[in-house]
């Protein structure tokens, strides 16, 4: 994997944003989600936990990506 240190900050920021989105999905019912969020449904009391899990998984992916980019220079020939 080619190291791209410039991507560390954007990856961390993206991870934090996605983490916040995940929290919103877990905490707010579908009726209270911002209207631009997928799953927004006026008046619904359903919690879109799966959307939250999806956001959380991608957030973790961003953090792991940033972690690897911050590592020592490449030794893997693949």
Binding residues for other proteins (CB under 8 A): 1, 38, 50-51, 53-54, 57-58, 61, 64, 67-68, 70-72, 74-78
Nearer to other proteins by C-beta: 29 or 61?
Answer: 61
Cβ burial of 55 (10 Å; 0-12, 13-18, 19+) is buried
Q: For residues 28 and 63, which CB has a smaller minimum distance to other proteins in the complex?
A: 63
40: DSSP letter: -
Phi, psi values for residue 68, rounded to 5°: -70, -40
Least CB distance from residue 42 to other proteins, whole Å?
19
The DSSP-derived string for 45-67 is ----HHHHHHHHHHHHHHHHHHH
Nearer to other proteins, 42 or 78 (CB): 78
Query: Cβ of residue 39: shortest distance to other proteins, in angstroms?
Result: 9
């Amino acid at each position: 994997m080619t190291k791209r240190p410039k991507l560390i900050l954007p990856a961390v920021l993206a991870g934090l944003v996605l983490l916040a989105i995940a929290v919103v999905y877990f905490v707010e019912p579908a009726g209270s989600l911002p209207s631009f969020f997928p799953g927004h449904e006026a008046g619904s009391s359903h919690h879109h936990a799966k959307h939250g899990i999806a956001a959380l998984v991608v957030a973790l992916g961003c953090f792991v990506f940033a972690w690897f980019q911050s590592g020592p220079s490449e030794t893997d020939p693949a």
